[in-house]
Amino acid sequence: MIPVLFMGGQYNHLIVRALKELGVESRMLMPKAPLESLEGADGLVMGGGPMSVYDGLERFGNAPSIIEGWGRPILGICLSHQLIGKLLGGDVVKGRSPEYGRTVVRVIDEDGILQGVGKEFVAWASHNDEVKFREGASFKILAESEYCSVEALSDERRRLYGVQFHVEVAETPKGKKILGNFISLCRK
């Protein structure tokens, strides 16, 4: 089972549906759900939402403590990608140009979640903020775009992954492949 942490985004329900279409049991959880609600889960997907990481981490319920201490694979999408990047030592800043709509993602490293997606692909983005790598950050940059230097990241040791774009929408044709890769990582 791979639940989805609802972060207030309009596409969060589509993540649950996509996981079910890929043959995985899933359900929606709220950010304040106790850690016990993850018992029996193989991994967790954290969705996007309208908040900003610099609005204060307390607004994210139990999500920061889950990221920092759960120990099972977590995939953060959009806002949750930024939260993971921040907790792994990166900065979250206003992007030099917001990305809304079709974005060409360039793959730097096909590690883990981007296995088999090719050197570049089209994705649907919807964000003003972005993660910036900072000296001492514990994540690896997996992909970038023209306007976003960290479109995807990973910390393999901690089993944390993030994508700035939306894998759950039809406008990201490689999205199901990325979710499938994450499912495989959860089963290891």
Our answer to whether residue 127 is catalytic in this structure is: no
Question: Tokens representing 141?
Answer: 């940059």
> How many Å apart are CA 157 and CA 93, to the nearest integer?
25
Could you give the angle at the alpha carbon of 66 between the alpha carbons of 103 and 125, nearest 5°? 10
Q: What is the pLDDT of residues 30-71, one digit of tens each?
A: 999 888 899 999 999 999 988 888 878 888 999 999 999 899
Given 146, 166, 171, 186, the catalytic residue: 166
Phi, psi angles (nearest 5°) of residue 118: 95, 180
Q: Which domains are present in the chain?
A: 4-187 (3.40.50.880)
Q: What's the pTM value of the predicted model, to 2 decimals?
A: 0.95
Our answer to whether residue 78 is catalytic in this structure is: yes
Name the 3-class secondary structure at 154: strand
Residues 103 and 74 sit within 8 Å (Cβ to Cβ): no
**What is residue 109's predicted lDDT score, i.e. its pLDDT?**
95
Question: Tokens representing 96?
Answer: 């030099």
Our answer to whether residue 166 is catalytic in this structure is: yes
Given 99, 130, 151, 168, the catalytic residue: 168
